[in-house]
Structure 1
Amino acid sequence: MHPRFSRLIGESGFSIGLELPLDNDWSSSGRRLAEQQQRPFGIPDIRRHAALARQADQSGFRALWIRDVPLYDPAFGDAAQVYETFSYLGYLAGITQDILLGTAAVVLPLRQPWLTLKAANSIDELSDGRLLLGVASGDRPIEYPLFGKDFEQRGAAFRDAVELIRTQGQGQLPQGTRLLPEVQQALPMLVAGLSQQSPAWVGEHMDGWLSYPGTPDEHRRRVGLWREVAGDKPYVSFIHLDLDANPHAPLQRVHFGGRCGRLALIDELQTLQGLGVQHIGLHLRRSERDVSEVIGELAEHVLPMFH
């Protein structure tokens, strides 16, 4: 296991993070606000992003996860956190102190591999070793022609980029040249899904798995597959959470998550921990309550159960 993952999952072997953007634009109140501001569905209200990121850091969440969405495509209905991934990571590195910074995930085939390597090394250096580099092959065909890339060849391009990042370009640079900054430790890479690769390849070449949100039964099957091909390497996933103000509210499942009070959430997280899930990033865009209030309740009542 990559040493940085011990910082992510801690002594208990399980931890909780947050997925950006930290807004609630998928809630009923969020949709009303978006209509008032004439924002299309999927483009978040990010005016409070810095304050909420600092709150997450100071509250003890283990990681902030951001997505890589080059183009807002209304057909997908999700602009993620809007900002360009590595630019935003640099900003977050400057306004936070302890929280790990994860990508879920950088679309490698759309990016020039050497510049991706330099950007990732830069973020790792600027954040004092807090980068968790989640990578993917991409799932939005509309982006590829714009970038001059072949959607059907994205699997091969993904493998080539992973090899470059893993080796830091050793043996490929012109004699006498260096790519700076140079990292002292290989960057920890997690893969989203399978990225057009076989499970065996992913288990051998990647340091962790970013699994799509799912039910406990779905995670049971996926964890079993991951353990077969990757041993004890970390298994990470996400939950779309609408935290009810009533702590006793039962879990009502929705696509990729559910609405519940904190006691049912704790039960769900304990179940996932028992299945071998090692980190959950909470996605709050469905939240009917103020996001800062939800972060505060989670920090006070849920994090101490696991961290």
Structure 2
Amino acid sequence: MSISMSSSPVGEINNFHFETWRLFDPIYLCFLIPVTIHYILVLKVISKLQESNSFLFIFAILGVSDVIYCFSMLACELLHHTQLLPQFVFVCCVVTSYYGVFFNLLSNGLLSLNRFCATFVWYTTYFNNACIKIYFLIISVVALVATLPGGILMFIYLFKDYSLAAQYGKTGLESFNTHRSIIISMMICDGLVGCVTSLSTMYRLRKYKINYDKSLLLVTTLHIFPDTLVTLFNLDMIFQVTGESKYMNELSRMFLVFLVSFNSLTIVCTNRQIRQEYFNLLLSLRQIFWCSSSVRNTLTNLTTVSKERVTVF
């Protein structure tokens, strides 16, 4: 995933190095920071609408996890290059990002099921807020278990002496391949659930003429695209002899941020109400910044004038 495996001169064994975990990539930061800000604004909009829509309630919970993921990735970047905090904090941020990806994949499956179940009369019974919280509790536990292979290995290498790193090279490669295999399995399941539920939903809509918000269905259907993209990337890394992708490892981080934030992009593009509220929020923020800037300029001018008067007298 986001871990760099480099070759050792002794037997060409793959070692883990915090020092070479990632290279500084300004393009990555230029992508991550705006995406994080955008997602926060989308959650602000959805917070006003989620009470009457179980899909948006699920989306809001998922969105909070996704924003935490974005912040953890940003913290990883900053901590790695500034060394402001101990490496333990850095590793915790890395493992948190692992958890965020698994939580996102499982939650997207729940969103797909929500859109399919919305075509049935018993929809509100099994998708009220109490049931949704139970579903997310199950998702949290499964995501935690899925994080263990990669997460435990990260802490093993943190607390072991780096001079002994070569002894763990083969174990490390196998563990991270297990980690990637879990991601691939979840992505395939998420893609299959998305395809099956989308086709089944379209069939029921055409057959029963149900009043339905199709824009929300597009959100879950379009998520199949980033699933496929990241799945192919992880497959490439698994089948490389060295455990590294022939593509840039930095590109892997970009793909994962794209995967996690994709819902926030599609829901604004496909849903008219959310899009209008989103642009209204942007306009209001612009007005606030403009007013604060005007007040600041006015105060600056008044201060300058008062100083000139004092100088004259």
- TM-score tier (shorter): under 0.3
Higher strand share goes to which structure? 1
Higher helix share goes to which structure? 2
TM-score (norm 2): 0.22
TM-score (norm 1): 0.23
